[in-house]
Amino acid sequence: MPTTQKVAEYNLWADSFHEGEWACRNIAREIENQGGSFQVQYDQGFIPAFSFKIDNLEIRVHVYGNYGSWSPKPKALEDLLAWGKPDLVLINDSNDEILIAVEETAATPTGNQALQRCERQFGSAIEGFPFWYLISEFGLHSDGGVRRDSVWPSLMGLEIMTSLEIPSIVLHYSDLENPEDYESGKGMKSLFRIMMGVLINSTNGAEPMSGLERELQSQIDEMTKFIDLTATNSLYFLPESESSKKEDLTKKLCATGDLRSSHRKDRENYLIWPLARELNALQQGEQSSRELKKHDPFARELENSIDKGQSYGIIRGSGSKPQKEDQMKTWISQQNSLQITWEKGVDSKYEEAFRLHLKDFPKSPTGYHVITAPRILYLFDDFRSVINCLSRSFPDLNYKSLLNIDSPSLVYISNSVKPGRIFGDPYTGQIAAYATSFGALSKGRKVLAYFPHQSVAQALNNFDNPSNKGLRIMKELTDYLVFGGGITLDMKTGEVL
Amino acid sequence: MKPKLVSINEEIVRWSFEISVNRSNDWFIAFTNPTAGPWKRITAPDNEGKIGEIHRFEIDETRPDLILVNDKMQHVLIIEAKTTFNDLQKPAQLMKTSQLFESLAIKLRNMANNNFWGSRSNYEYSLGLLWSSGDESKSQILETCQDYLKRIAGLTKDIICIQGYVENELLKSKVYKAISGEILKLPN
């Protein structure tokens, strides 16, 4: 006796039709591997309409390419797009719920590029949407060499999954012999097996990850292997994790049922980063203060804190790209103007607390250096030590109210001078990646970001502006922003200290 | 809920045109340049139908939007796509597209020894301009195409126009030679 056929409709939204159709054809390949079949036609002459048949299911997927060309869009999609446009978003047509968001890159991003998409990864997680990121592990560089992907998306993904119990998977394709080749490596096929599985489960009315435990476990295993292999390219060391954590993580993700998990009560970390006083002799041996590139009182205190054993630097290297004189003059003028306007409406204690002068920036043959501290991140054992550094650096301001906070902490520095730049690429991606990876989601560390060359006025003027992605990320992940002159903004209240 | 198309841009016109090309028996797409994804290579079939790589664009190398090939007519189209005709008229675009056409046409014409391109190096090479139809006039189109032709006169005799438009909620393309006005046997 024939079984009743179940039919369900889905919409695959995509940054471009090419990517949407490419994804559907790869899902079709997996469906055929499982004994199913597929057909495709083009509605209105151009909208791909796929029909996948497997067992007693008919799964229909329409592709809508180029987000801006369509209306109306589901509310959940609008919310997600506010964090940036993922390449693919699979949505159940019957209830407009997002099943999966996917980001994919054709090339291996290097340097700051690698961090740019971290804000989308974070945005998806914080909105409660499962996220898969398909990225080339090995990429060709213009110098002819081969580059490997950065550790940050994977590290961040593991921490998101552990803290928020929502999938944030990074999959790699390509290999050393075949850089940027989608068909090499495990990632691409694994992604489309998951997409197929989620479609089948949804059509059957089953839990999204039902029966996909092995695939998911394998994906998490690959992430941890990749982190183990590559972490020390970016970091001084990687703490060991308990081997049982991966299995526990998979179980939690699969048991959640609703992938849009709101279970955020057990905020844990996947990796436990040690305190400075817990570093072993080898790790301590790599920690000592360095010269500043440009004088800055707080940056000096941060470096000194390493010698005092209060903090350590975890990220290797920090380059300095000189900025052109005409640009610097414009930016400095804009920063000072913003600050002066702001000062007119506030307490006189802030008067002239922050002014930029071109002569303070070290000059090189190609422009002016803006780097202050020689590193971008400090992990402190105690928030009070950070506040003491601030108090010594800016003695005219009062930070006493922060001295009762008892927590390990993280200090991030961006030396950018251009107004508004700190709320965009790559800085918001950096904050998302670093704060998440070092425990901000689990509330394991207080996060303070320092912008020595930016006026506090920019943050205050935009504090409630929902389209400012940078501030939205900072509100989620940072506790305090310290601007030029040590003027500090409480990110929970929006008040200047 | 199924959404409705509210605006047409370059990508959508190009996509609908590509679908028409894929339905054609005579033309094939050797290269397409979407915003992301595994599409950075010019490919073509050899005599036995095996598809191989002709050229791989560097990440920051200027790329055309489409390359089409017709083996029967022995014709290669290198296409620049823009949302509006106005975008194609801009002097900087005119310069960029003409230079790209020149360098790519020369490169492909010098690939007689490539197993997958071979005799296609002797085909006719034309510049194609693809856009979404707006309020541009015939004389504007003709004038702009003559400007393009002046820059690449030694390489091609005419400019191929691919004008996307909506008719009864269907996206279609009108394909013709700009100077001679001849309607081409391209998918439309």
Per-10-residue mean pLDDT, chain B, length 188: 86 90 89 72 90 83 92 93 93 95 95 92 95 88 94 89 85 88 71
Q: Quote the pLDDT of residue A468.
A: 86
Kindly give, in sequence order, each residue whose CB lies less than 8 Å from that of residue A372, ignoring residues fewer than 6 positions away.
A292, A293, A294, A295, A296, A299, A413, A415, A452
Q: Which of A11, A22, A41, A69 to mutate to test the interface with B (most CBs of B within 10 A)?
A: A69
SS3 state of residue A188? helix
Cβ-defined contact of B37 to A73 (cutoff 8 Å): no
Q: Using CA coordinates, name the residue in chain B closest to A181.
A: B38
From chain B, the residues in CB contact with A70 under 8 A are 3-6
SS3 state of residue B147? helix
pTM: 0.87
CA distance readout (Å), A235 to A56, A265, A466, A493: 50, 30, 33, 33
Residue keyed to tokens 């030396």 = A415
Q: Does B12 touch chain A (CB under 8 A)?
A: yes
Which one-letter amino acid corresponds to residue A118?
Answer: C
Q: Which of A11, A18, A62, A180 to mutate to test the interface with B (most CBs of B within 10 A)?
A: A18
Q: Please name which of B33, B55, B152 lies closest in space to residue B102, comparing C-alpha atoms.
A: B152
Q: Give the CA angle between residues A340, A343, A344 to the nearest 5°.
A: 95
The mean per-residue pLDDT over the stretch A313-339 comes to 90
Q: Please name which of A99, A87, A68, A90 lies closest in space to residue A19, comparing C-alpha atoms.
A: A87
Q: Please name which of B71, B100, B81, B76 lies closest in space to residue B17, comparing C-alpha atoms.
A: B81
Q: Give the CA angle between residues A150, A153, A158 to the nearest 5°.
A: 125
Which one-letter amino acid corresponds to residue A131?
Answer: F
The mean per-residue pLDDT over the stretch A477-494 comes to 94
Kindly give, in sequence order, each residue whose CB lies less than 8 Å from that of residue A339, ignoring residues fewer than 6 positions away.
A354, A355, A455, A456, A457, A484, A485
Compute the distance between CA of residue A410 and CA of residue B34 in angstroms, rounded to an integer: 40
Cβ-defined contact of B40 to A17 (cutoff 8 Å): no
Number of Cβ within 10 Å of residue A394's Cβ equals 20
Q: Using CA coordinates, name the residue in chain B closest to A11.
A: B2
Give the residue with greater pLDDT, A425 vs A275.
A275
> What residues pair up with B125 in beta bridges, in sequence order?
B76
How many angstroms away from the CA of B2 is the closest CA of chain A? 8
Q: Please name which of A387, A389, A454 lies closest in space to residue A427, comparing C-alpha atoms.
A: A454
Cβ-defined contact of B59 to A45 (cutoff 8 Å): no
**A353, A487 Cβ separation under 8 angstroms:** yes
Residue keyed to tokens 């089409």 = B68
Q: Quote the pLDDT of residue B188.
A: 46
Q: What is the pLDDT of residues A148-169, one digit of tens each?
A: 888 899 999 998 888 888 889 9
Q: Does B167 touch chain A (CB under 8 A)?
A: no
Least confident of A18-22, A119-123, A316-320: A316-320
From chain B, the residues in CB contact with A64 under 8 A are 3
Q: Return the biggest CA–CA distance within chain B.
A: 53
Residue keyed to tokens 């509605």 = A43
Q: What is the pLDDT of residues A334-361, one digit of tens each?
A: 999 999 999 998 888 888 889 999 999 9
Cβ-defined contact of A70 to B12 (cutoff 8 Å): no
Cβ-defined contact of B16 to A62 (cutoff 8 Å): no
Q: For B136-145, which contacts have Cβ atoms below 8 Å and span 24 or more sequence positions?
A: B136/B84, B136/B85, B136/B86, B140/B85, B140/B89, B141/B85, B141/B178, B142/B178, B142/B179, B144/B85, B144/B88, B144/B89, B144/B94, B145/B178, B145/B179
CA distance readout (Å), A49 to A10, A59, A155, B17, B39: 10, 10, 37, 17, 22
From chain B, the residues in CB contact with A63 under 8 A are none
Residue in B2, B5, B36 nearest the CB of A62: B2
- ipTM for the complex? 0.87
pLDDT band at A465 (very low <50, low <70, confident <90, very high): confident
Q: What is the pLDDT of residues A5-28, one digit of tens each?
A: 899 999 999 999 999 999 999 999
Cβ-defined contact of B36 to A71 (cutoff 8 Å): no
Q: Which of A24, A25, A43, A47 to mutate to test the interface with B (most CBs of B within 10 A)?
A: A47
Residue in B2, B19, B32 nearest the CB of A42: B19
The mean per-residue pLDDT over the stretch A190-206 comes to 95
Across A70-79, A314-323, B170-179, which has the greatest mean pLDDT?
A70-79
Compute the distance between CA of residue B24 and CA of residue A219 in angstroms, rounded to an integer: 41
- Kindly state the tokens that stand for A55: 């067992």
pLDDT of residue A1 exceeding 60: no
SS3 state of residue A161? helix
Could you give the strand order of the β-sheet that contains B170-177, starting from the edge strand earlier in sequence? B27-32, B66-70, B75-82, B124-132, B159-167, B170-177
DSSP secondary structure of A200-249: HHHHHT--TTTT-HHHHHHHHHHHHHHHHHHHHHHBS------THHHHHH
Q: Please name which of A179, A164, A102, A88 lies closest in space to residue A133, comparing C-alpha atoms.
A: A102
Which one-letter amino acid corresponds to residue A310?
Answer: Q
Q: What is the pLDDT of residues A234-247, one digit of tens each?
A: 899 988 776 677 77
Cβ-defined contact of A71 to B6 (cutoff 8 Å): yes
Q: Quote the pLDDT of residue A108.
A: 67
Q: Please name which of A17, A24, A90 lies closest in space to residue A52, comparing C-alpha atoms.
A: A24
Q: Please name which of A82, A75, A74 lies closest in space to residue A476, comparing C-alpha atoms.
A: A82
Least confident of A30-39, A237-246, A427-436, B42-51: A237-246
Share of residues in chain A with pLDDT > 70 (%): 93
The mean per-residue pLDDT over the stretch A412-422 comes to 92
Q: Using CA coordinates, name the residue in chain B closest to A48.
A: B19
Compute the distance between CA of residue B124 and CA of residue B115 in angstroms, rounded to an integer: 19
Q: Does B7 touch chain A (CB under 8 A)?
A: yes
- Kindly state the tokens that stand for A35: 């004994």
Cβ-defined contact of A93 to B40 (cutoff 8 Å): no
How many angstroms away from the CA of A79 is the closest CA of chain B? 17
Q: Does B11 touch chain A (CB under 8 A)?
A: yes
